[in-house]
A and B are shown apart, each in its own frame.
Chain A
């Protein structure tokens, strides 16, 4: 009787889970498998034909411009992650430890608001601020500095990445640190740890998991972003998303674009895997 009942329950649960399972297969697993297959297709007379050749892989892997773009993208996404984590930390720290509960709630609400507006629109608004005749250069000019070129530089790309990632990183860091047991911070103070030193000795170790997850998110978003490097960075040094666009435009090379996309996915898988492993690692020397 019980087994019958549990089977009924399983059917009931399955019915509810089915839509998301179907969705994942149709719109995620399927396309990924197709993309992998496509990376072995050939393009003849600007038309893709089914085949199983390694020519796309060998061409892309042997091209200097692919690896230049690959390492540049890894580098700029890593710089973006470090910048976002550092810029966000003092704000998140203040919200987690100094602000009242209601202030913290309001701050998190306000940090969600940027997501209401299109990221593209927020990116374009930086033109007004960063261009040669923009707000920043006008202000610097009034004290005799500049003008500085900020658009179409790495700096511009990073500003775009920050626009994309900072609100999320601040929220993740705040929520993580707000949840740590304040008694542990007091215990450290009680044992001779100065207020500043508790950040390294207690707060960062305690919020390690959340901080690493924030960093992973930041890296993934920056690594895969097309808008910031294209519009604010000027795509002078193309990142991988720009490379994908260029590859598809030039000669309909969808299979080679698929190779780039697969490389990106593998990189993100590796980063996420290493990050999660680090985040949940046991203390040093513990059995």
Chain B
């Protein structure tokens, strides 16, 4: 059947017919650019919503998504993937045995966490929240393949990151520091005062977390610290560890005061002085101090501008404005994001298409463009391709997480994998629905109808012509799907 119609698509059609006058074409382009940047691309619901609310209204709702209802999705995820709702101790107890049964082994959290994240990326109405959860998880990255992070990465996302993407950075930083996935991944669980005997071994300082909390989580490598500062920060965090039994510590955090270095500390040339015998407050003060530094404010603002505006040339005026808002609001990330998304530079259409979609973004945007026929099949099918494209979810090895750079995501091997996914999406395989709203009959009409659904914010004229030539060369029954498969693998769909 030539006309493939879905109920949600009718809503788009209504919105299209209701759209006013001569600005129509441009407005659609801007809308799709915004949907590509603060979400994982347009789907029927988001196109209708941004048409109803206008771009500013849509952004406001995304910045405060409490009124958006994802209940059905969250219920589905909880039912399909119960590990995603468990606390650390329960997850660790339930999935700690290498039994040979893939449904009970320690890889379940990674497997099901990946699937849950895929479904949220595609189906959540809170698109900006999903993008920001991914951004901040990546900022603090732990590798869900290793040690205690196997069970900790999901609670880190759920308890330390998601509640604060529109909250205070310092709170997120502290919750992450307490997470057992992080404290094991960066070895702070083994960071004790020199000479402390614990579990039959003589322990001492471990610098790993201290170095990365400075270099990666807060001020950055050029943030003005020395090797001596790393040592002092490490001493401040001695004793922030994991319990050996979890009965009274379901979230997996324990401050072991006997292992804490009680001596005074001095950080950043004395800018932060910690008196002796302050226990856990040492680490909390370091977190609040680092979170409040202008270097941290600037680095976070620049990173966000690279994500949302331009990775190669984040506009300095927006970086500085966001930094100032951060400093004025005690690091309120909702207000920092509002400053960036309300800047003229964010709306500047010259930035549209300047970034290569990362693999998750590509997969989710495919699913949002053509629909999902079967959630569980789709989520299960995408894990392998994401790993082969280099973005296995929760599997970034180094503490930097995955790079933002487009260059990193432009490898030939990854591209060939994308052509496979585009074909599957167009043919309704791997859980994709393959829904297309095509009324036309001639090759040109088919290409233009598909473009209106898949690439409303533009297609290069040479690409359009090559697709018309392709359609012409194919039997008519094969045209819609093969042209769609090719359009979804073309440069215009690979970028955002």
A and B assemble together: no
B interface with A by C-beta (< 8 Å): none
